[in-house]
Each structure stands twice: as C-alpha cells, then as structure tokens.
Amino acid sequence: MNKALSSICTVIGAILLASCQQKQYKAFFLTESSNPEGGAAFNMRYNGRMYNRMPIMSLKHFEKFKSFMADDGSYGVVLYTPKEYTLRLFTETQQNIGKHILPVIDGLAFEPMEIDQGITDGQLIIWGGLNGYDLRRISESLKPVDPEIEEKRYLKDNPRPKPELPEGAVPRKDEHGRIIPELYSSATRNTKEQ
C-alpha cells in the first residue's frame, strides 16, 4: 500500500511541477508572402504587408546567441544556427531576395529586414528592440556565447508595455470572410500604420 501511495504522490508531484514551469518563449521569423491574396489560412498582416503564417525559422533552429547594444539603447541579438540548419537558412533567404523577413518575439513584431542576399554564415540578426527579459527567456532555449556578459543584462520581469492597439481599427477579412490575423509592433510608433 505504501508503494502505491508513494508512486501516486510522485506522479502528482511531477504533474504539479510541470504545470508550474513557464511556457517556452516563442521567437520565430516570417517571410513576406508571395501570395498576399492567399487569405487568413496562409497569411498574417503587419504594417500593411502580408507575411506567411508558417515561420522559416524559430528558436529551436538555433544553438547559441550573442546580444549587443542597439543605437536606441535596446538590445539586438545574433542567433547562430548549428551546421545542420545553415543550408536551410541560406535556402529560405535566397528564395526570398527582395522580400522582408519579420522577427516575431513573444507575440510582438519587430523591425522587418529586407533580404538582399542569401545568408551563408548561419547567423540571423535582430537589430534592436529587445530587453533584458527577452535575453533571459532566449537563454532558456539557447546557450549564450558569453554567459558572463549576458547574465548582467538579464531582467526577471518584462518591462515592455502591451502595445496600444489602433483606435477604431476594423479587422481585415479575406474573400471567405475569415479575419486575417494582425501582428502588433513592439514599439507603439508602428501601430499607426496598421
């Protein structure tokens, strides 16, 4: 009887512990859509541009990161792919030359970057807008290149306010009447264009 009770307590404890853990931090990259008329099933909208709903890369495709100070006082980050994803990053960017790639971190869109050539070195860069909370959460999935520097930048709580949604914004719908999902900016200055 004690063994059965002990086993049940162990299972319940494991379930409770698992439910208390934070959700995995979501960070991914979308490319500008080749078929903007594809509708809500295939696209998301940000600042008047349509992006493919299926990310080309996410945190799971990278192995390490290194942050840097951006011009505006926020942090940027370099994400490094392992060798097995270097070709994938090159192929995805080579096929989308002239289009934009959109970083989405914790559900918020960051500054889109124009793809001018295929990325051959396996490094994808977010040029700014991140804070110490973002860096700490990224470190839960990726190894920092220089842990000592990164740990000084980490924040326990997210200081970024929720974006202000545009007043009177009417959701856009596709030809089938489905609402096209909108991404909102990490900076309130970009929400006016939506």
- pLDDT, position 47: 86
- pLDDT, position 69: 96
- pLDDT, position 24: 67
Neighbours of 45 (CB within 10 A): 18
- pLDDT, position 3: 57
Q: 130 near 67, Cβ under 8 Å?
A: yes
Tell me the C-alpha to C-alpha distance, in Å, between residue 77 and each of 37, 85, 128, 160, 191.
Answer: 33, 18, 7, 17, 23
Q: How confident is the prediction along the chain (194 residues), in pLDDT tens digits per residue?
A: 555 545 444 444 444 444 444 566 789 999 998 877 766 778 888 888 889 989 999 999 999 999 999 999 999 999 999 999 999 999 999 999 999 999 999 888 999 999 999 999 999 999 999 999 999 999 999 999 999 999 999 999 988 877 766 677 677 776 667 777 677 776 544 333 33
> What are the tokens at 137?
């959460």
- pLDDT, position 45: 85
